[in-house]
Structure 1
Amino acid sequence: MSQPRRTSRRRAWTVLTLPALLCVLAACSGGPASGRGDDGAAPSASPTPSGPPGTLFDDFHYSGPDDPSFTAHGWQVRTDGGGPGIKDTWATAGAGFPSDTTAQGGRVLQLRSSTDGTKQGTKQVEVQSTGTGLFTGTFAARVHLSDKPTSGRNGDHVVETFFPISPSDASANYSELDYEYLPNGGWGSVGPQLDTVSWYKADPPDRVSHTLKQRLEGWHFMMITAVNGKVTYSLDGKDLFTSSGKYVPREKMDVHFSNWFVDLPFAGGQRTWDMKVNWFYYKAGEAVSQADVQKTVDGFYSAGTNYVNTVPN
């Protein structure tokens, strides 16, 4: 398992789009939202079956990392030094928002890391929220994992991750909940493997974990529920691991998506690794089923709603 992320963060504004405001008004009146989709047709279902308060949703419809809406919606691309992986190689170059016919809504956040086996030729990528204040509740994302590089020779110890984490690894109430996919293994292990890890302390490491030894190329529904003193990780509707006791969130967290290298096992040729994120959803304080998460997400897409944030500060 990796060591905790060490990053710098800045606070961002919370923005509520017009469709999201319509959702709020609809919830207050008890009726469906009246926003329309891109084709002008009325949505077939309410975009928020369980009500919009305490909801964060983003389907990453941005033109690039320099899109003002990307920052306004509380996201940034990591550019500082530090670990994990190859230090001082974090760059914005790997973050993009291309069209993708396999994605719901046809657009993704793409995280592309690359290396030629040298530190100078390595670029890692991480996209993180800032100041979102996500605590207990349901975290969900549709994520595409890669078993082999998009180009170049296979064999890198790459880590494709989705995780909520405390703003500071020095916090007295440090909290971190990890999905980490290692198609080729790392730290002496042989992949493929998906590690789910709940942290109590970053340094020295204090954590509990579970490893699923399975090849996972393709799209997956990743979900974490953290309620009533228990954290449950599920993949495509199947529970993988549960932690409790001290291994639960103790403070508000930001959410991160990251694609990085454990080490540089060999040189000789450029290769690139892609991880993709279709959408991210969070519901504060509630355990939401996968079916209800997908129903809510479908409603947002139907209404043409790309972003909602009604999570209390």
Structure 2
Amino acid sequence: MAHALIRRTLHAAAAAVVAATGLVAAGATTATPARAAVTCGVLFDDFSYASASDPALAQRGWHIRTSAGGPGVPGATWSAGNVSFPTVDGQTVARLQATTNGTGAGTTHAEMSLPDRRFFEGTYFARIKFADTPVSGNDGDLVNQTFYTISPLRYAMDPIYSELDFSEYLPNGGWGATGPTNFQTTWYTYQPDPWVQDRQYSSQSRSIAGWRDVMATVSGGEVRYYIDGQLVGTHGGKFYPRQNMSIDFNQWFIDLTGHSGGTSVWHENVDYVFHAKKQVLTPAQATARVNAFRAAGTRHTDNVTADNSCTPAETPPPAGGTTRIASNWNNKCIDVPNWNFADRQRVHVWDCTDGTNQKWQFVDGTVRTENNKCLDVADAATHDGAAVQIYTCNGTAAQQFVLSAAGDLVNPQAGKCVDIAEWNPDNGAVLHLWTCVGGANQKWRRA
């Protein structure tokens, strides 16, 4: 990359300053209870929104940029109207549109982000339809189609600045490239004026137009970048991120030197985004996780915490793999009474058997029966004594559980542990949530 990269972070310093807030385990008012494990969480969104003004978009944390400034063409507009949610190839997508007539005033860009900085280590995955040509108008524009994470630059050469560019696709070249080129860049820091950059990058000098699986894993001082399951770059050392970041997609013009008249309209389409915090997945595993969400009818879930001391959810067993969940106290197993898999059936403990009513699967932060019902907190309650039951899987926080290394089976929304009620040692003792105190009636294992 002969030419210095034009950075987007002048905008990021303003737009990504939402205070990071993590899930914190609820504490009891009595003396020194044990702190519940905080699950790291998972994000999945397949962008099933009616429009950019759909209230669910903001409720789920998405921000559509309208503020002026870089990167890209001076005087261009970042337009909310350039983000839409049409159906493309049978799926609802997030569409980012960029347009230009060759002037700054006649140029529009698009950006959407999750600006609350919760995202650090783990697996990032998105399916993106890149374009080599505009949907209308003349070709030749130096346009950039992106997926990345970023933190604010506090000042020039900020030593904890962090940015991971999973994909910056330039269909007509730019930054010294003369043809279609895709870049992955891991940033240490930069200075905007005069321009000084300190980064590591990889590139592929070929077209990636069409649907592509864009993925990265961030763990153990190493960032590994993938396109369609193929490793295309491994970065690390001082460039490894040093703080939490936002998740962003945008499309913008580097400059207007390639424009040849009229108005040109470019589209970047994003089918879904997935992130598993502090979990390193293979491309096949990430694809399987997304497919499992869609098979269950889950359109959105997000319980990712900003707390980097969190406990990652266990990687689920292979498809079809099941386990019993046994109490460390009395060696009885979590059981669906009499094989009654109706919604709102409360679960209890019973002598362990090989029955299917005691077989569970850990899938994407949920605990599922073999017939795809999920362990669930009744009415999404968070108080001590809230009933634990089964219910049709729906992707809500009431169905998220993590079995920690300490043996706590925790619902992160409540920050409370699955507990054998009243220390009842008998078959049929019901389960509920209770403040985590480290008691033996709150300790579980796979069996």
TM-score (norm 2): 0.59
Match of 2:229 in 1: 237
- Residue number among 120, 130, 143 corresponding to 1:135 in the alignment: 120
Letter in 1 for 2:164: L
Match of 1:3 in 2: 7
Letter in 2 for 1:300: F
Give the Cα separation in 2 of the matches to 1:229 and 1:187: 28
After superposition, residues 1-313 of structure 1 pair within 5 angstroms as 1-7=5-11, 8-9=14-15, 11=18, 54-88=41-75, 89-102=77-90, 106-168=91-153, 170=155, 172-178=159-165, 179-203=167-191, 204-265=196-257, 266-313=259-306
Letter in 2 for 1:206: D
Which range is displaced more, 194-203 or 262-271? 262-271
Question: 1:120 offset after TM fit, Å?
Answer: 1.2
Question: 1:64 offset after TM fit, Å?
Answer: 1.6
8 Å CA contact 1:208–1:243 kept in 2: the answer is: yes
TM-superposition CA deviations, 1:222-276 (whole Å, max 9, x none): 0011100000101001000111111111100001111100111235201100001
Letter in 2 for 1:306: R
8 Å CA contact 2:20–2:118 kept in 1: the answer is: no
Give the Cα separation in 1 of the matches to 2:18 and 2:81: 22
- CA pair 309-12 structure 1, distance change in 2 beyond 3 A: farther
User: Secondary structure, in 3 states, of the residue corresponding to 1:123?
Assistant: strand
Question: 1:205 offset after TM fit, Å?
Answer: 1.5
Give the Cα separation in 2 of the matches to 1:172 and 1:251: 11
Give the Cα separation in 2 of the matches to 1:228 and 1:137: 10
8 Å CA contact 2:215–2:225 kept in 1: the answer is: yes
Whichever of the two has the greater Rg, that structure is 2
Larger relative contact order, structure 1 or 2 (CA cutoff 8 Å, min sep 6)? 1
8 Å CA contact 1:13–1:74 kept in 2: the answer is: no
Runs of 4+ that moved beyond 4 A: none
Question: 1:169 offset after TM fit, Å?
Answer: 5.4
TM-score (norm 1): 0.83
8 Å CA contact 2:128–2:212 kept in 1: the answer is: yes
Letter in 2 for 1:276: N
Query: Mind listing any 5+ residue stretches in structure 1 that lack a counterpart?
Result: 17-51
8 Å CA contact 2:73–2:253 kept in 1: the answer is: yes
8 Å CA contact 1:180–1:194 kept in 2: the answer is: yes
8 Å CA contact 1:13–1:72 kept in 2: the answer is: no
Which range is displaced more, 71-80 or 156-165? 71-80
Give the Cα separation in 2 of the matches to 1:110 and 1:67: 14
Give the Cα separation in 2 of the matches to 1:108 and 1:123: 20
Question: 1:81 offset after TM fit, Å?
Answer: 1.8
Give the Cα separation in 2 of the matches to 1:169 and 1:185: 30
Question: 1:132 offset after TM fit, Å?
Answer: 4.2
Query: Mind listing any 5+ residue stretches in structure 2 that lack a counterpart?
Result: 24-38, 307-447
Give the Cα separation in 1 of the matches to 2:234 and 2:154: 22
Give the Cα separation in 1 of the matches to 2:115 and 2:276: 17
8 Å CA contact 1:118–1:267 kept in 2: the answer is: no
User: Secondary structure, in 3 states, of the residue corresponding to 2:125?
Assistant: strand
TM-superposition CA deviations, 1:191-244 (whole Å, max 9, x none): 200011000003232101111001111000000111000001010010001111
**Percent identity (aligned):** 36
Question: 1:79 offset after TM fit, Å?
Answer: 1.3
8 Å CA contact 1:12–1:130 kept in 2: the answer is: no
Letter in 2 for 1:237: G
Question: 1:187 offset after TM fit, Å?
Answer: 2.9
Give the Cα separation in 2 of the matches to 1:188 and 1:312: 39
8 Å CA contact 2:43–2:301 kept in 1: the answer is: yes
User: Secondary structure, in 3 states, of the residue corresponding to 2:239?
Assistant: coil
User: Secondary structure, in 3 states, of the residue corresponding to 2:58?
Assistant: helix
- CA pair 169-4 structure 1, distance change in 2 beyond 3 A: farther
Higher strand share: 2
Question: 1:131 offset after TM fit, Å?
Answer: 0.5
8 Å CA contact 1:12–1:74 kept in 2: the answer is: no
Give the Cα separation in 2 of the matches to 1:286 and 1:75: 23
- CA pair 248-54 structure 1, distance change in 2 beyond 3 A: same
8 Å CA contact 1:138–1:288 kept in 2: the answer is: yes
8 Å CA contact 1:125–1:259 kept in 2: the answer is: yes
Give the Cα separation in 1 of the matches to 2:74 and 2:280: 37
Letter in 2 for 1:181: Y
Give the Cα separation in 2 of the matches to 1:129 and 1:219: 22
RMSD: 2.0
TM-superposition CA deviations, 1:96-132 (whole Å, max 9, x none): 0001125xxx100000100011111110011111214
